Amino acid sequence: MTEFTKTEKNSLKRLPKRGHYDRATIYRILDEALICHVGFVEREQPYVIPINFARIEDRIVLHGAKASRLLKHIEAGYPVCVEVTVVDGLVLARSVFHHSINYRSVVLFGKGRPVEGEQEKLSALKAITEHLIPGRWQEARLPNRKELNATRVVSIKIDEASAKVRVGPPLDEQEDYTLPVWAGVLPLQEQALSPIRDELLPKNVPVPEYISQYSRTRE
């Protein structure tokens, strides 16, 4: 299926014209975002936890300490809600009321399971590492058995999802277009600055190209 089925949970109620349900749009946003926020309920108390992640086909994989309450919850198969947002610009209208943000966001729903086999665990950790910075897995030391045993890895099947995207200029009231107030869009994007060397790094170790040319923009 090229699109997620619209359901009561993933259907956009407000500004539905901004909604997207095709997997290509949803997966592209997930692949660009660095951090996701996972919502879950434990003992009738809701929590939202930020965590890095990666997408593998139609799944989201997460990792952390064995004691992680969030990962234990997901591993047990309880339902969760995952959200990511990429901010593209500030939309500055002539009136404060109509100020907005250009953004791309995804909300998805699913249930998790543990990732336990060594090879599947390594594949998930590789995906998370490469999601942060492609090329790193091939250069850095890989996890040893002790580190693998100390790490909990979970996988969430994306059962339902939708994206919401806002693009374009501000939308003002007709009578406000004559106001002498600057209006338009101030574009924003994540930008890598010059790498800062670890003081303990030997001076003859060069900066790899995948670091010096790093970008979150995906082709």
pLDDT, tens digit, 9 for 90 and up, residues 161-200: 999 999 999 999 999 999 999 999 999 999 999 999 999 9
| Residue 157, helix vs strand vs coil | strand
- Please count the helices (runs of H) and the strands (runs of E) in the chain: 6, 10
Distance of CA 211 to the CA centre of its chain: 20
Q: Where are the domains of the chain?
A: 16-189
Distance CA 4, CA 162 (A): 7
pTM for the whole structure: 0.93
Report the pLDDT value the prediction gives residue 56, as an integer from 0 to 100.
Answer: 97
Spans in the chain with pLDDT lower than 70 = 218-219
Q: Look up the CATH number of domain 16-189.
A: 2.30.110.10
pLDDT of residue 111: 96
Largest separation between any pair of C-alpha atoms in the chain: 67
Check residue 148 and give its pLDDT: 94
pLDDT value of position 217: 73
Beta carbons of 159 and 67 less than 8 angstroms apart:
no
DSSP run (H or E) holding 72:
helix 69-75
Between CA 52 and CA 64 the distance in angstroms is 9
